[in-house]
Chain A
Amino acid sequence: MPGNSICVKKIRVSDYILTALIYVCSIISILLLLGIVGYVFIKGIGQINWQFLTTVPSSIKGTFGIAGNIVNTLYVIVITLLIATPVGIGSAIYLNEYAKPGKLVRLIEFTTETLSGIPSIIFGLFGMVFFGGVLGLGYSILTGALTLTIMTLPLITRNTQEALKTVPEHYRSGALGMGATKWYMIRTILLPSSMTGIITGVILAIGRIVGESAALLFTSGSGFLLPKTGAGFFNKIFESGGTLTIQLYLCMSKAQYDEAFGIAVVLLIIVFGINMLTKYLASHFDVNKKNC
């Protein structure tokens, strides 16, 4: 009998069963997750070479490459962010700094939530009808980018809003107290101190764009050619262009599994990179935490 216990320890069978269940389930999910990444890398890493990354598919030479798709992905990312970032930040500033709590704010917040919950296939249908049909842009990179703008807007808005909320209240009262106008205060105090959060939102948006496929299938099409130099460089946005994920899907449906795995590895590396970058930003540039 141990001295520090007044009764014999009770053995609970259910405790053991539940503990076992917890461990079994965790092992299942951890193995699954590691297995997915490992399997893709093993199958696809052999596909990656210079030609795969820097050429476009050629039926004459019978070679395959994803250079065109990489360029298309970059186009979509840049155009989407050019529109979504200012609008998203502006919306967050309004919600956090200008708006008074009430029905209007609740409506805007509800719609932002709703937007982030709508599945990408619905965005795809809407983009196809509205940007492609009503605005007459057809299957083009611009249509795809505009569709993704709506999709990534809530992501940027919410991250900026969170970042603005962490800026201490006395920054605001200090600046206003010294006679700064509101816009001046936002421009010189609030935005710089919430820059990390904003950048995190933008990077998360890039991740979402890179991984998106259903919203792009019927909006940006499946072109795989590189843009021409000169004016063609700009005109490219009115032509169809498939991103990496679209090409992966097309390869899959044509049963070109080796190429598909090659693209999957490229995508995984990008996702890894984005993840590391957000982690690094969050831990190294958090101005507010260090100084307060």
Chain B
Amino acid sequence: MTKNSIIGSNKTKSTVEKAAQAVFTTCAFFAVLAVVSITLYMLMNGTPALFKVGIGEILFGTSWMPTAKNPSYGIFYVILTSIIGTVMSILIGVPIGVLTAIFLAETASKKLAAFVKPAVELLAGIPSVIYGLLGLLILNPLMYKLEIMIFKNSETHQFSGGANMISAVLVLAVMILPTVINISESSLKSVPEQYKAASLALGASKIQTIFNVMLPAAKSGIISAIVLGVGRAIGEAMAISLVSGSAVNLPLPFNSVRFLTTAIVSEMGYASDLHKQVLFTIGLVLFAFIMIINVSLTRILKKGEKSDARK
């Protein structure tokens, strides 16, 4: 340390130096400490219920009656709802988002892009409760009308008042749009200019260039946009907690459903004992999903770097 410093022999200065390094090192370990303790506490609080109720019964049970006299804690439908809801919102949100990113990066005039881009960035920062408020007041009444039309003569259908799976999926799709647009756009912009020029010079049309050259070249960026979108959709709680309804059901379009996140939000307030522990188990399941997503994201990013290096 003192090799390249001519005043390194000064004792107080070297103490200060050492102290500074120690402080910075400690700071750096805060993130490690936080992740380790979050993992630990999620495991500590989430596993007891698994053994008390039985792993199979919790994870694959289909009946959720935590406050009944003979309570049953099956969260299979909740897990299923989260998975299907996320997949559906990705299927809706990603194509729209990627095509908008193409529009912003390639086809839009500079002026229009300069206006739209900040607007998209702004939307990424809008608090999720506001999306929930809009979903509740705009989507739910619409869905209710649709529900009445479709199930007018059905005797078995439980009316949800519009708070159903479709509403939640649509809210989630809108919420992941800014994320997908921003990241896809910047990865499209970072495709080397000569790829495009070469393709155009070979006689390909603009559209062919975009879909056959630009998109494959920006693949790793777009995939990470999708993975981040999945993370955002599966972890979102407040926006959909009122929009998705308040009963645990099979995730059919017009059923009122509970996601992993919304189950925690809406029941943690009054839950106690075993019920509370099961809610932590739900949190643990969510945490497991997120960790899988995170690890696959780092894998994708590393792969992208490697293939970039090979080029």
Residues of A near any B CB (own CB < 8 A): 12, 14-15, 18-19, 21-23, 25-26, 28-30, 32-34, 36-37, 39-40, 86-91, 93-95, 97-99, 107-108, 110-115, 117-123, 125-126, 128-130, 150, 153-154, 157, 176, 179-183, 186, 207, 210-214, 217-218, 245, 248-249, 252-253, 257, 260-261, 264, 267-268, 271-272, 274-275, 279
Contacts and interface: CB of A to CB of B under 8 A. Distances in A.
A263 B210 CA distance: 43
Contact of A260 (B104, B133, B174): B133
Contact of B17 (A26, A33, A182, A264): A182
A126 to B, nearest CB: 5
A257 B140 CA distance: 14
A91 B24 contact: yes
Contact of B127 (A108, A111, A126, A271): A271
B200 interface: no
A207 B128 CA distance: 12
B146 interface: no
Contact of B103 (A26, A182, A183, A268): A26
Contacts of A249: 129, 132, 238
A40 B99 contact: no
A181 B8 CA distance: 8
18 contacts: A19-B107, A97-B24, A108-B28, A111-B31, A113-B298, A115-B35, A118-B38, A119-B231, A121-B237, A122-B42, A125-B268, A153-B31, A182-B20, A186-B20, A248-B129, A252-B242, A253-B242, A275-B122
A30 B29 CA distance: 42
Interface residues of B, number: 93
B265 interface: yes
A99 B127 CA distance: 36
A186 B35 CA distance: 28
A122 B210 CA distance: 39
B45 interface: yes
Contacts of B211: 18
A127 to B, nearest CB: 10
